[in-house]
Amino acid sequence: MTNKFFLLTILLLSLLLNSCGSNSLGEGEQAFTQQEKKFVHTLFLTEYLWADQVTSNIDYSTFSSPQSLLNELRVTPPDKWSFAMTAHEYDNFVNQKTEGFGFGYKDNFIVFLVRINSPVYGKLFRGDQIIQIDGEEVSQSLIKSLSTQLNKTSIFTVLRNNQFIEVALKPKEYTFKVTQSKVLTQGSKKIGYLRYDSFTGTSVAEFEKAFTTFKNTNIDELVIDLRYNGGGSIVVASTLLENITNAYPGQRQGYLDWNTHYKNRNESFYFTDEPDTNDLNMKRVFFLVTKGSASASELVISALKPYLGKTNVITIGTNTHGKNVGMSGKTYGSHYYFIVNFFVRNNTNETTGFEGIIPTCSAIDDIHHTMGDPNETMLSTALYYIQNDKCP
């Protein structure tokens, strides 16, 4: 057994992609013991942000999995985030590794997201509607089943641009990327566009490379696409803030505000005293956001407002998720526990409301265009604002 405080994160697994694993015990995973249940209960009674509202009387025998116990203990509302995962799942997340096909779809089986460098990247596209697989009518259970049959080819019949086409797809183990970037030109302005899907530790090298390009190109405006970014590491969020602006060395970006009994764990995070050569000095920033933009995504937006001014931190899309809290991970055996420990506040003590950040300009997530396409509704709205200083 280990009881270790390891990585401060504000993590939200908000995208249920077809590569998700099952709830059964995996190789090396231990049973959910009485001792572990007591350990989890104690975390809720002590370190949990709403510890004073947690029941002390629990019949441990009624819970067979970590998540079922967490669901019982967490205070809802507002907590809909505290969760458990296996060590293997955690390792895959932080290293951007997984297995399966690598796409997300809506209820009508229309693809809305394809992971960068996944097995189906460049083969399936946003807006594709899956009709059949191997001649069988598509269903959620069918996709889930086939996603676990690694290296087996299946024929997907999809409706694309009003035409039925067949695409051969094979689920695999893979390492994905979480960024794409480009420089757009609009009139005399150069606009840096960054798609950013997750605040993982390994993503820093990816977006640092993008910001080097932005710096060398001398961009005039910056658009960061966070529409499916459910969060991740606070350290990474802090690094992204530094890349956006180097004008406030040594100043506090924000802080973590624990419950009444654990104020000694409050922690601040700052702009670095020694900015990197690729750090920008943006006077305003545009963020493309949806309900899937959560946690660290909301932190970055909130942390910039005291410095750039609220009117210069422009959000395009819909309300964000409304996760203004974070977790400090704990381990027990093969399980990792992320329970809500603290509010995340910016330098003026503000925190995102549970209703999320209200967008400056409303815009739909236009799944019939690729992310980064200037004709896609959210990005085209940002480009309109850049030209006209107002929403369309």
At 190-231, the pLDDT tens digits run 999 999 999 998 999 999 999 999 999 999 999 999 999 999
- What is the per-residue pLDDT across 286-302, written as a single tens digit (0 to 9) for each? 999 999 999 999 999 99
Distances (CA, A) of 179 to 23, 114, 136, 174, 202: 29, 12, 34, 16, 11
pLDDT at residue 10 is higher than 60: no
CATH class, range 100-175 = mainly beta
Count of alpha carbons within 13 angstroms of residue 335, beta-carbon side: 21
| Chain mean pLDDT for the chain | 91
Decide: 346 and 303 in contact? Cβ < 8 Å: yes
The answer to whether the CB of 124 falls within 8 A of the CB of 109 is: no
Q: Are 244 and 276 in contact (CB under 8 A)?
A: no
* Confidence at residue 160, expressed as pLDDT on a 0 to 100 scale: 97
Q: Using alpha carbons, select from 139, 229, 218 the residue that is nearest to residue 183.
A: 218
What is residue 93's predicted lDDT score, i.e. its pLDDT?
Answer: 82
Higher-pLDDT residue of 7 and 73 is 73
- pLDDT per position as a tens digit, 21-50: 333 334 445 689 999 999 999 999 999 999
Q: Tell me how crowded residue 27 is: count the other CB atoms within 10 A of its CB.
A: 7
Determine the pLDDT at residue 266.
97
Ranges in the chain annotated CATH 3.90.226.10: 179-325+341-388
Say what angle helices 204-217 and 234-244 make with each other, to 10 degrees. Answer: 0
Interatomic CA distance for residues 20 and 10, integer angstroms = 20
Where does the chain hold its CATH 2.30.42.10 domain(s)?
Answer: 100-175
- From CA 169, how far away is CA 299, in angstroms rounded? 37
Residue with tokens 């003590």: 349
CATH code, 179-325+341-388: 3.90.226.10
pTM of the model: 0.91
Helix axes 66-73, 34-46, angle to 10 degrees: 30
